[in-house]
Amino acid sequence: MADPVARTTVRIGAGAGFAGDRVDPAVDLAAHGALDDLVLECLAERTIALGQQRRLADPDAGHDPRLHARLAPLLPVALERGTRVLTNMGAANPVAAGRAVRALLDDLGARASVGVVTGDDVLDVLDLDAPALEDGRPLREHGEIVSANAYLGADAITPALEAGAQVVVTGRVADPSLFLAPLAQRLGWAPDDVDATAAGTLVGHLLECAGQLTGGYAADPGRFDVPDLARLGFPFADVAADGSAVYGKLDGTGGRLDRHTVREQLLYEVTDPAGYVTPDVLLDLRGVRVEDAGADRVRVHGARGRPRPDRLKVTVGHRAGTRVEAEISYVGPGAEARGRLAADVVATRLAGLPLAPRIEVRGGPEDARLRVAARGEDPTVLDAVGHEVEALYTNGPAGGGGVRVHRTPVLGVVSTLVPRSAVHPRTTILEAVGAAA
């Protein structure tokens, strides 16, 4: 059952800011942060498209491959302390991810229920004549479309929370919405209260990148020193019913949280401070105030909002050819000069082919490496790139070695918009083995 609407403050933490984030700071937060909710934001635009590719090859794949490694040490600690966990690690296959979490909890003997949020996959209803936001061209002109995932909002998550799920797994949900949903549900904010929704969205925006708020992305020796960066602590926020929030990190952890780190994250990925578009609200940051509130404590308030948009953003993945990368090393006296000569040779040999290779020499005077990269559709043309670099072994310049040639399919990503009415979120509750339905 949902919490009774009597809360005046909620403490919510950031347990991950991307798919490759560390696990131990999240475990520390769960163990010592006295959190109500912990959010793991692990999904980027290309991440979900790559997940769709894996799912095409294996119907049980497509969710975050680190799901078990991340949640196995975290969930026992969080659930023991009554902390709900929300994550978008479902990626392209939230149902399979939910089953994996259910199996993990059953192995742990935990009776916590799992809420699975689906409905973001809109490939079947995508209009291929709709324009891509990046270039205005119809989607069909970008090649074979392999994925299309709409950014769901907080309203897609709320039913799972209202049903009492202690772990919520989603696919593509807007990053701030993962935080807004539990805040609104605990604090009793109405969906049409645009200023409260804006305040919760701002909390999510500031916390969504985890260690960026505590100085990880700001660290610059001699200009902006961040203490004990190797033990960077992740942030949390104490959010009041009026939407104001005090941000902090655990005492004794590395990093720093101050007005500088907060203001840097405040503007992260924001193109229009007067109208940052999310599925839940148009967030107006112009009146936001950032104030010191003690050591590693910052108070933020003043967000305003306007009603949510009628259309939802969709990330569309498409096949974009193949990339070939070829490298060779030169060492010893004159290595850099030999590397640059090799670059000139390859450029001459590839001239006239229908590709635009990137040719660069990295390193220094006595340790240099030539790298040639190109993208295209024709395998024969791409083979020529690797062959010409390999041929440098005996065709000069002197002393080349360590050739590596690697080819990978390229997945392109563009965006479009779909009517909100075309997107239908759904919630499934997975109970413990033997639990009452």
Does the pTM of the predicted model rise above 0.85? Answer: yes
Section 61-85 average pLDDT: 97
pLDDT greater than 50 at residue 352: yes
- For the chain, the average pLDDT equals 95
Q: Which amino acid is at 246?
A: V
Report pLDDT for 3: 46
Report pLDDT for 156: 98
Report pLDDT digits (tens) over 240-285.
999 999 999 999 999 999 999 999 999 999 999 999 999 999 999 9
By the 8 A CB rule, do 255 and 227 touch?
A: yes
Confidence of residue 198 (pLDDT cuts 50, 70, 90): very high
Section 114-140 average pLDDT: 97
pLDDT greater than 50 at residue 1: no
Report pLDDT for 435: 64
Report pLDDT digits (tens) over 294-322.
999 999 999 999 999 999 999 999 999 99
Sign of CA dihedral 70, 73, 74, 76: positive
What's the burial of 369, exposed, middle or buried (CB within 10 Å: 0-12/13-18/19+)?
middle
Domain ranges of the chain: 9-120+151-309, 316-415
Report pLDDT for 437: 46
Residue of 185, 235, 208, 202 lying closest to 302 (CA atoms)? 202
Percent of the chain's residues with pLDDT above 90: 91
Please provide the CATH number assigned to the domain covering 316-415: 3.30.70.100
Report pLDDT for 25: 98
Report pLDDT digits (tens) over 229-246.
999 999 999 999 999 999
Report pLDDT for 59: 86
Report pLDDT for 48: 83
Q: Between vectors from CA 367 to CA 364 and to CA 370, what angle results, nearest 5°?
A: 85
By the 8 A CB rule, do 237 and 206 touch?
A: yes
Report pLDDT for 68: 97
Lowest mean pLDDT among 37-41, 54-58, 201-205, 384-388: 54-58
Helix (H, G, I), strand (E, B) or coil at 393: helix
Give how far the C-alpha of residue 169 lies from the chain's centroid of Cα atoms, to the nearest Å: 14
Percent of the chain's residues with pLDDT above 70: 98
